[in-house]
A and B are shown apart, each in its own frame.
Chain A
Amino acid sequence: MIPAGFEYHRPGDIASAIGILQEHGDEARVIAGGHSLIPMMKLRMAEMGHLVDLQAIDELKGIEVGSDTVTLGAMVTQHELITHDGLAAAIPLIREAALQIADPQVRYVGTVGGNVANGDPGNDMPGLMQCLNATFDLSGPDGNRSVAAREFYEAAYFTAREDEEILTRISIPVPGAGVGQAYEKQKRKIGDYATAAAAVMVGNGTASVAMTNLADTPVWSESASAALADGDVNGCVAAMLDAIEPVADNRGPVEFKKHVAGVMLRRAIDRAQNRAG
């Protein structure tokens, strides 16, 4: 558990960070909270000559709660998500999900940007952001662009982000009043990734349903969402179970995961519907 040697960079702005990435190409990686990257480095499954720490970049910080949109800086920690009252009032689902990520010590350092950008199918925030229909802002050598969370994930650890781009901000539309939200997660213990997790929004004739750690990307299902919007819970669950592709691991075999996925989704739907009033 000793990483190979690397150069450490701590740029003060996004442009400098991108410059370092451009200069070193494949050799460089950005690091946010580091909870995914550092273990990989210690296992020597990730070796890079240059580590670009984003801690000192103020542009990547801050939570802004507008009437229509919430924006989160990429370096906002899970702890900040949990303790921001304005955010909890606007989109309670984020606090509810963040509380189920890892443990308090990890949440003090782990960031929302790192969580969504890494492309780890075990992370909770990608599915959540797909449910919320968030947009990710990317900055790179060729300027800025935005990618919808629902378009961002290609395969495990592969995303629409180019190597020399940095995910800078997350924009989330504020769900209207009357939309109930719930995040339901089964895990083996504190700190574990989900055996299955479900993010649900429902109300005002709309619905959005996404699930975590049941395929090599988060799974947002248009047909499951549409079924739920029509009030067809069984149809929603059936569509989602059709969309997920879990694989066997130490958490259990596929059959078990599919069953638990259905249970988590039904529980999340039930709570979200109750909250919708």
Chain B
Amino acid sequence: MNDQTLTPEERAANLKGMGSSRKRVEDVRFTQGKGNYVDDIKLDGMLFGDFVRSPYAHARVVSVNKEAALALPGVIAVLTAEDLSPLGLHWMPTLAGDKQMVLADGKVLFQGQEVAFVVAEDRYIAADAAELVEVEYEELPVLTDPFEALKSDVVLREDLEGQTEGAHGPRKHHNHIFTWEQGDKDATEAILAEADVVAEEMVYYHRTHPCPLETCGSVASMDKVTGKLTLYGTFQAPHAIRTVVSLISGIAEHNIRVISPDIGGGFGNKVGAYAGYVCSVVASIVTGKPVKWVEDRMENLMSTAFARDYWMQGKIAATTDGKITGLWCHTTADHGGFDACADPTKFPAGFMNICTGSYDIPTAYLAVDGVYTNKAPGGVAYRCSFRVTEAAYFIERMIEVLAIKLNMDAAELRRINFIKADQFPYQSALGWEYDSGDYHTAWDKALKAVDYEGLRAEQAQRVEEFKAGKTRKLLGIGLTHFTEIVGAGPVKNCDILGLGMFDSCEIRIHPTGSAIARLGTISQGQGHATTFAQIIASEIGLPADDITLEEGDTDTAPYGLGTYGSRSTPVAGAATAMAARKIRAKAQMIAAYLLEVHDDDVEWDVDRFSVKGAPERFKTMKEIAFAAYNQAIPGLEPGLEAVSYYDPPNMTYPFGAYICVMEIDVDTGEWDVRKFYALDDCGTRINPMIIDGQVHGGVTEALAIAMGQEIAYDEMGNVKTGTLMDFFLPTAWETPNYITDYTVTPSPHHPIGAKGVGESPNVGGVPCFSNAVHDAFRPFGLVQSHMPHDHWRIWKIANGLGMHE
């Protein structure tokens, strides 16, 4: 046989397993327009739904007149809260323990809120009919500022009136949702009182939106003969959606099939449940026909889940030589009209308590107050683990603010405060156990790669030239060292709606030595079909090219909690390795039988078991697979398959060192990224090409957020950035080149040592870009200025510093 002549290294390379920059198998269809997205699904007799939405941010709904709409030929139904209430579906539970109106029940709480659902024979008639629904509103006072909301007499959530206890403890005010506290308040305040130096700052992380290329949508098809509901949708967690649909609709879970087809980007936007999903299901039950609902771009930006909107008041204490002694943070979190934040149940502010970052801070305290306002609900993890981007932005700004106060170099301040490699596993003051890290090595590598000393010298020279009137451009050097917390998570403390956040993989080996694997996750562009096949290839010695991956169909895939928060590789990737190892264990017994030796007398060798001491006697996995199906092996069942449900013992903690060099025109506020260096340590690297792609995409989203992207409201609660004309989505033109680099510090508790990477670049990128802007103006006295750093806000910094005089 040919492969007898190959070296083990050559055989391993042929598998295209872990470490291979194998090309993405998904791209064959995506690059040829052959993807199958929700809007591509066309079923016989399918009807179309469209929403009537509120133009007001806060108003009473006095009446809804459907007559004119129903009179339009082709209109099948117009649903309002009144129609849904007999089914108990006019409200739905949120992931955060709150409830949310499906259709306006007497009032609306944000502009764009769903008021009525029109069902018609085609999409155009539905849109025409939506125009004909007459809604009478009575405007109410609008609250768009969370600090004002906590003082206002205006009651936003009248349905909660008198409820002083919320899902996460006492409510202090009728517009207050929860207070969440972590760490030691008294000890932290004592340290602040006695510290050599305390830097204090308000750090605002503005409201933005994940804005995936594909908007949200669903197609519900109720078969009244079989009693089965099939629901296609843009779901990042199809299995959880099935359970939720069963719980709220009363349809038995075995009669519901949820399918997430190809998904055109999620970034957290597709984790939650939306009114459109519920209405398409109800409309299909009512009409007995399939009903499609797909939102447009403006609806997506206005009404589906936003991200961030955290006002983070910080205090950081240090000795005069820069050793940080304490960190204090109070966050005011604007959740909009309903608390539809997508976090594990016990974490109403997500993992915001990772806000001590990469630093050995002995004492810390965090409090988060959630507040209702007249804005869209959400609060999703936009390309980050739950609220981790907010946490990273907070600490990385506070470090810079402290460096200014201490008159220290910010790179050096970081270095002297990093958690040291020998401190891992590290117990943080706010309750996490960091699994592994080597921050100093990564930091030094990054500083050397960009010639940090040279950049600082250039910057000093530039400042002199500016002061001498020779240039109007400043140079900013943005630094960030971030620590992510991903892979939610251990069932002991992580659940969503009571569902433990394990994940799963089932692998079946076919007789000819190819395989299919199914997972509880769902790719939205991450390349799962490529990378999970690589894990299996390395674990069981079958070529990745011979392994099919399937996700997203709840009738066939094992139960899992889905893909968000960089959890697929840490959790489902671990399940994949564990399922593969079960197969390998059985394969070992089969091989031993075929080779007529004891189980312990064979050893694993890349793609085969060979007899110890006699490597020429072996059985390849292909041969073993065939034997599993055609030989009666004493004591073994036929077949070769396994399933694993993996409950991770801990989160994983990827980290990275990012450096941005930015040119800033003080007269126009224009900026230009001259260099962006991203070093990521995500533990074991499965596919370096895909990691690079994830970093490129994540840093680009970070660029967008830091430099212009926002969901802005006027004082009437009107969305000012509801189209892509004003909502900044960078094109190739605005996107700089990135230099990627890495170190490898495997996770000690993950079966293959992998940590997850998709969200790190957003977590690290946002503070890095923002710090570059701040750093450019630091020599002229800037301490803090809020994102997004669009032209006029940068200009305002320069103007405020007297640079236009």
The interface of chain A, by Cβ under 8 A from chain B, is 1-2, 4-5, 44, 103, 186, 188-192, 195, 250-253, 255-256, 259-260, 263-264
Contact = CB atoms under 8 A, between A and B. Distances in A.
A44 B131 CA distance: 9
B787 to A, nearest CB: 15
Contact of A188 (B296, B298, B708): B708
Contacts of B721: 250
Interface of B: 50, 123-124, 126-128, 131, 296-298, 667-670, 708, 712, 720-721, 725-726, 728, 730-731, 733-734, 790-792, 795-796, 799, 804
A105 to B, nearest CB: 11
Contacts of A192: 725
A252 B795 contact: yes
A195 B669 CA distance: 11
Nearest to A186: B668
B731 A191 contact: yes
B791 A103 contact: no
A238 B591 CA distance: 89
A1 B124 CA distance: 10
Nearest to B299: A1
A253 B799 CA distance: 13
Given A252-B795, A253-B792, A260-B667, 11 more contacts: A2-B126, A4-B128, A103-B731, A103-B733, A186-B670, A188-B708, A188-B791, A189-B731, A189-B733, A256-B796, A260-B795
B734 A189 contact: yes
A1 B298 contact: yes
Contacts of B670: 186
B296 to A, nearest CB: 4
A252 B721 CA distance: 13
Which 4 pairs of residues, A with B, have the shortest CB-CB distance?
Answer: A252-B792, A2-B127, A1-B296, A190-B733
A76 to B, nearest CB: 24
Given A4-B128, A263-B667, A250 B731 contact: no
Instruction: Summarize A's interface: helix, strand, loop or mixed.
Output: loop
Contacts of A188: 708, 728, 790-791
Instruction: Summarize B's interface: helix, strand, loop or mixed.
Output: loop
A263 B473 CA distance: 14
Contacts of B50: 2
26 contacts: A1-B296, A1-B297, A2-B123, A2-B296, A4-B131, A103-B731, A188-B790, A189-B731, A189-B733, A191-B731, A250-B712, A250-B721, A251-B791, A251-B792, A252-B790, A252-B792, A252-B795, A255-B799, A256-B669, A256-B795, A256-B799, A259-B795, A260-B667, A260-B791, A263-B667, A263-B668
Contacts of B668: 186, 260, 263-264
Given A191-B731, A250-B726, A259 B804 contact: yes
A260 B804 CA distance: 11
Contacts of B712: 250
Contacts, number: 68
Nearest to B726: A250
A131 B792 CA distance: 27
Nearest to B665: A263
A2 to B, nearest CB: 4
A259 B669 CA distance: 11
B804 to A, nearest CB: 7
B192 to A, nearest CB: 37
A100 to B, nearest CB: 12
B728 A189 contact: yes
A59 to B, nearest CB: 33
A251 B296 CA distance: 24
B224 to A, nearest CB: 29
Contacts of B297: 1
B706 to A, nearest CB: 14
A177 to B, nearest CB: 32
A250 B721 CA distance: 8
A195 B730 contact: no
Contacts of A250: 712, 720-721, 726
Contacts of A264: 668
A214 to B, nearest CB: 14
A185 B783 CA distance: 31
B128 A5 contact: yes
B723 to A, nearest CB: 8
Contacts of A259: 667, 795, 799, 804
A43 B297 CA distance: 11
Contact of A5 (B124, B708, B796): B124
B795 A190 contact: no
Nearest to B730: A189
B280 to A, nearest CB: 17
Contacts of A256: 669, 791-792, 795-796, 799
A190 B791 CA distance: 14
Most chain A beta carbons < 10 A, residue from B721, B725, B733, B804: B725
B299 to A, nearest CB: 9
Nearest to B298: A1
A195 B127 contact: no
A2 B296 CA distance: 9
Given A250-B720, A256-B792, A259-B804, A190 B124 contact: no
Most chain A beta carbons < 10 A, residue from B124, B127, B728, B792: B792
A264 B791 CA distance: 14
Nearest to A191: B731
A34 to B, nearest CB: 16
Nearest to B704: A189
Contacts of B733: 103, 189-190
A195 B731 contact: no
Nearest to B48: A2
A2 B51 CA distance: 12
A191 B733 CA distance: 10
Nearest to A103: B731
A1 B297 CA distance: 8
B469 to A, nearest CB: 15
A259 B665 CA distance: 13
B734 A190 contact: yes
A250 to B, nearest CB: 5
Given A189-B728, A192-B725, A263-B668, A252 B791 contact: yes
A164 to B, nearest CB: 28
A121 B127 CA distance: 30
A5 B298 CA distance: 21
Contacts of A252: 790-792, 795
A263 B126 CA distance: 49
B805 to A, nearest CB: 12
Contacts of B720: 250
A256 B670 CA distance: 12
Nearest to B50: A2
A112 B404 CA distance: 52
A252 to B, nearest CB: 3
A8 to B, nearest CB: 14
A92 B521 CA distance: 56
Nearest to B670: A186
A103 B730 CA distance: 13
Contacts of B123: 2
Nearest to B710: A250
A256 B790 CA distance: 12
Contacts of B131: 4, 44
A44 B296 CA distance: 14
Contact of B791 (A1, A5, A44, A186): A186
Nearest to B123: A2
B646 to A, nearest CB: 42
Nearest to B728: A189
A248 to B, nearest CB: 10
A40 to B, nearest CB: 12
A195 B794 CA distance: 14
Contacts of A190: 731, 733-734
Contacts of B669: 256, 260
Contacts of B128: 4-5
A61 to B, nearest CB: 29
Contacts of A189: 708, 728, 730-731, 733-734
Contacts of A44: 131
